[in-house]
Amino acid sequence: MFPPTLNIHPPLPRRRDWRIGCVGAGFIMRDCHLVAYRTAGFNPVAIASRNPLTAHNVALRHGIPQTYDTITALLADPDIEVLDIAVPPTAQPDIIRRAVELGKGHLRGILAQKPLALSLDEARSLVKLCSDAGIMLAVNQNMRCDQSVRAAKDLLTRGWIGEPVLATIDMRAVPHWMPWAQELPSLTTFVMSIHHLDCFRYWLGNPERVLASTRPDPRTKFPHRDGINLYILEYANGARAAAWDDVWTGPCKEGVAGDTAIRWRIEGTDGLMQGTIGWPKYPAREPSTLEFSTRQQPHCWIRPHWEEVWFPDAFVGTMAQLLVAIENDREPEISGRDNLATIALCEAVFTAATEHRVVALTDVMGTV
């Protein structure tokens, strides 16, 4: 059938009433997770955060019946089946450890934020801890659920553009760095570039080695080493991937006319596809886009359309993957174990950029 019906929606669980406990009540939980979960018919039943009043207000807004004054109290609630964590990366590992300790006998799965941890060693320890406890661990690498990113993966899987030759992501967008980002040893690599590095892994698999360069972002006033990130990924089959994570984009916040956008492109032996990511326009609903051309339908562009957007609609997909994995007793695509390679790739890019050398992924991770 041509053109194909593209797979932009992840499968949904048979049960929509899994009892979800939410840890954290900031933007990503309040305006993304919980909005998406209500749309999908999921069942958040309790919430807690460092600030009980914030959690209470979010509970009122989203109709969550139970608010806890402490995160520990929520983790110990025997009615919670699935834990949804949305806290800064420095706080997340300890919450996962306490969840495993207090959730024995009732906790079936954990959806953690990216980065899972700020080092590969700590991420490995969390994966093992959850595995030994029989708790499914997934990581909220939500760019994989952006509609154009999923459509691109579907086209690659179908072979519509042949063997991939070159994939690129050109980001010219200004993130809103949260206050907790000032505490991190890495800024752009582990907070923003991690999206694109995981996306390249989703599309093409694990690269052999990376080359990278970085410089501070002039707009970001707190000290940081990695601001504007440039990197190239080299694959054993000859494919190459590259990204320009430009968080400066010129003085567009200081009065000049700007061009803020994220554009991606994948070229293959039998075709090519390209698109945009709608996230920079948030809170406006701007769907991501895709157009592709293939030898199977030569001399034309095919341009599918959809109404969904990454923020917040794609957040249905990450929780759905975890719930489906629990129901089927198999690891999700975004499992903690799979995410170890994304953490390793972040470490490789950060090392390559700061030490000015080529870094092999296996040097960071061992056999991947």
CATH at residue 68? 3.40.50.720
Q: What are phi and psi of 154, to 5 degrees?
A: -60, -45
Residues 262 and 124 in one domain: no
Domain assignment present for 5: no
Domain assignment present for 14: no
Residues 137 and 261 in one domain: no
Mean pLDDT of all residues in 214-221: 96
What lies within 8 Å, CB to CB, of 69 at 6+ separation is: 48, 52
Residues 184 and 69 in one domain: no
> Over the Cα atoms of the chain, what is R_g?
20
Residues 176 and 124 in one domain: no
Helix (H) or strand (E) holding 45: strand 43-48
Residues 115 and 204 in one domain: no
Which range of residues forms the domain containing residue 72? 19-142+316-335
Mean pLDDT, all residues of the chain: 96
Residues 88 and 237 in one domain: no
Residues 306 and 325 in one domain: no
Residues 95 and 168 in one domain: no
Residues 177 and 121 in one domain: no
Domain assignment present for 79: yes
- Give one DSSP letter per residue of 69-84, joined into a string: SSHHHHHT-TT--EEE
Instruction: Supply the CATH number for residue 218's domain.
Output: 3.30.360.10
pLDDT in tens, 73-117: 999 999 999 999 999 999 999 999 999 999 999 999 999 999 999
299: left (phi over 0), alpha (psi -120 to 50) or beta: left
Q: What are phi and psi of 67, to 5 degrees?
A: -120, 135
Domain assignment present for 39: yes
pLDDT in tens, 177-199: 999 999 999 999 999 999 999 99
Task: Give the pLDDT band of residue 367 (cuts 50, 70, 90).
Answer: low
Residues 35 and 157 in one domain: no
Total count of domains within the chain: 2
* 3-state SS class at 61: helix
310 and 16 in contact (C-beta within 8 Å)? no
The pLDDT score that the predictor gives to residue 366 is 83
Residues 117 and 33 in one domain: yes
Residues 160 and 95 in one domain: no
Which tokens hold the place of 161?
């553009």
What lies within 8 Å, CB to CB, of 44 at 6+ separation is: 20, 21, 22, 34, 37, 62, 64, 84
